[in-house]
Amino acid sequence: MAGGGGNGDLQGWQDKLTPEQFAICRLKGTEPAFTGQYTDCKTPGIYRCVCCGAALFNSATKYDSGSGWPSFWAAMAAGSITEHLDTRHGMRRIEVACTTCGSHLGHVFSDGPEPTGLRYCINSAALDLQPS
């Protein structure tokens, strides 16, 4: 399923993912704040896309934003994350998705720490931590 971009074959994704992962990653849902498995995680490693395994974030850029979701101040590499304008729910936000498979990850905001000033606010269900 990697490399397909977008939602493609939803039934295939539904067979591969848990109901929560499917709702978040393929249907652009959001897990409730402070409920995700990686919100308070301090384990060093690489956070990968739960759908295709692409490397998305390094734990060295993770920080406690107080938002209730895992937050990072930088993506793993240029091009690993794709940004789209999201005007759903009467808001203007920037959605972030996995470039490889199009999985919805969360949103990016410009209120993060230096050196980037960014806060990638990501759903735990969209991630798979590979400990180092």
Q: Residues with catalytic annotation?
A: 121
Helix H, strand E, coil C: the string for the chain is CCCCCCCCCHHHHHHHCCHHHHHHHCCCCCCCCCCCCCCCCCCCEEEEECCCCCEEEEHHHEECCCCCCCEECCCCCCCCEEEEEECHHHCCEEEEEECCCCCEEEEEECCCCCCCCCEEEECHHHEEEEEC
